[in-house]
Copies of this chain bind each other. A is one copy, B any other.
Amino acid sequence: MGLTKTEIFTEEQNLLASLFKAMAHPARIAILQRIILSNTCICGDLVGELGLAQATISQHLKELKSAGLIQGTIEGVSVCYCINPEVWKLLENRLGEFLGSYKSTTECC
């Protein structure tokens, strides 16, 4: 079929999956790292640094934005993107909770 059955999963599972999905591409990881590093990133910079076309980067930025991970405001002729603090904190919390729920102490297979 090719479409995910979101309705059979919990809200928590869908949320985590969608956040992971937004970061499940090296270009988007690179963009996030770049934004974090400079703390004020303009799209045009990325086009020169990553080896991807302007349209492609704009698309990745859109995905990060729609996932809520970043936010952008118009700054003169260009756009300034930065991390969305609330969503980033939510991500840290949910992820820490999820990863931390596994205790490696008990012996298994």
Contacts and interface: CB of A to CB of B under 8 A. Distances in A.
List of 6 A-B pairs having minimum Cβ-Cβ separation, nearest first? A9-B26, A21-B24, A85-B104, A20-B24, A82-B108, A13-B26
B5 A29 contact: no
In the complex, the count of this chain's copies comes to: 2
A104 B88 contact: yes
Interface of A: 4-6, 8-10, 13-14, 16-18, 20-21, 23-30, 33, 36, 39-40, 50-52, 71-73, 75, 80-83, 85, 88-89, 91-92, 95-96, 98-102, 104, 106, 108-109
A104 B83 contact: yes
A81 to B, nearest CB: 8
